[in-house]
């Protein structure tokens, strides 16, 4: 696996030295690219959940080439910011894990809002011997009919194959190191590859508690466009996720979400 090492670290109030902290420390790692609209809400929800479980923690936002106020907002919210320029989600997550101090790692996407019950369940799973895990995904706001129809099927696939969705994955530091982190050859489906690697190393669990993430891709891409991307992935196999080509759904220019942020988050 190729792991880049060109990250820079900014220090913040939630980055205590190892000698000053109580073990275990939880490291929340949030990869972000141009997320100024959603990052504050994500961090507020995460901070509230972390405080509720009463465990020492740190929050790292890995700012991957943002051209907006993502990094500034993250610092204002008390997060430690790691600056990289990968534009590749696996490398960005790995950069955050390298800069973190925790024994337990929780990867949360910048458009995803966690809650105390979910974090508590993840901690309980790891302390009871699980090497890692994920949870069901719910989407915020209004989603189109085609997405509502296929969503139960996708949840069934996730439960059957037991893999984490990219917006929320947790693992122990030992497990992360043992499998070499996220596979940096991959520009998509890296969370599935990581889930499979962790399963080979130990017990991998899917929690009952769901996490809520943004439904903006479902709202801003039509069903036809989404099927075209899926068809491209199926036609080319694993080669299709080893570059950004054809992966505009994840790496293309951000489209304007027709659902107001406040209304979507409250749904």
pLDDT, tens only, 95-147: 999 999 999 999 999 999 999 999 999 999 999 999 999 999 999 999 999 99
1 lies in a domain? no
125 lies in a domain? yes
Give the residue numbers spanning the domain of 128.
Answer: 8-266
pLDDT tens for each residue of 57-83: 999 999 999 999 999 999 999 999 999
Q: For residue 32, what are its two tokens?
A: 């972000």
81 lies in a domain? yes
235 lies in a domain? yes
86 lies in a domain? yes
141 lies in a domain? yes
How many structural domains comprise the chain? 1
Cβ contact 171:132 at 8 Å? yes
2 lies in a domain? no
Q: What values do phi and psi take at 214, rounded to 5? A: -70, 140
pLDDT of 32 higher than 50: yes
Q: Which helix or strand (DSSP H or E) is residue 149 part of?
A: helix 145-161
The pLDDT value given to residue 263: 56
> What is the Cα–Cα distance from 77 to 73, expressed in whole angstroms?
6
The pLDDT value given to residue 15: 41
Cβ contact 209:123 at 8 Å? no
pTM score: 0.87
Cβ contact 220:143 at 8 Å? no
170 lies in a domain? yes
Rounded average pLDDT over 216-228: 91
Mean pLDDT across the chain: 89
Q: Residue 95's domain is classified under what CATH number?
A: 3.90.550.10
**Residue linked to tokens 């465990």:** 55
Q: If you ran DSSP here, which 8-state letter would residue 186 be given?
A: -
The 3-state DSSP class for residue 28 equals: strand
> What is the Cα–Cα distance from 171 to 164, expressed in whole angstroms?
11
């Amino acid at each position: 696996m190729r792991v880049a090492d060109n990250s820079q670290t900014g220090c913040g109030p939630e980055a205590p030295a190892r000698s000053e902290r109580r073990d275990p420390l939880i490291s929340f790692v949030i990869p972000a690219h141009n997320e100024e609209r959603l990052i504050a809400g994500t961090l507020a929800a995460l901070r509230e959940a972390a405080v509720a479980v009463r465990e020492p923690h740190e929050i790292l936002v890995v700012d991957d080439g943002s051209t907006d106020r993502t990094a500034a907002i993250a610092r204002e919210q008390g997060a430690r910011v790691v600056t990289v320029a990968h534009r590749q989600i696996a490398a960005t997550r790995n950069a955050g894990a390298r800069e973190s101090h925790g024994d337990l790692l929780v990867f949360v996407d910048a458009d995803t809002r966690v809650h105390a019950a979910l974090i508590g369940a993840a901690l309980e799973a790891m302390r009871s011997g699980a090497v890692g895990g994920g949870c069901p995904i719910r989407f915020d706001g209004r989603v189109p009919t085609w997405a509502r129809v296929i969503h139960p099927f996708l949840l069934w696939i996730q439960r059957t194959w037991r893999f984490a969705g990219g917006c929320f994955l947790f693992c122990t530091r030992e497990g992360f190191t043992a499998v070499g982190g996220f596979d940096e050859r991959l520009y998509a489906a890296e969370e599935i590859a990581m889930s499979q690697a962790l399963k080979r190393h130990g017990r991998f669990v899917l929690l009952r508690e769901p996490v809520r993430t943004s439904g903006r891709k479902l709202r801003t891409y039509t069903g036809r466009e989404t099927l075209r991307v899926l068809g491209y992935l199926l036609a080319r196999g694993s080669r299709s996720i080893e570059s950004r080509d054809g992966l505009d759904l994840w790496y293309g220019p951000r489209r304007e979400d027709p659902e107001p942020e406040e209304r979507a988050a409250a749904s």
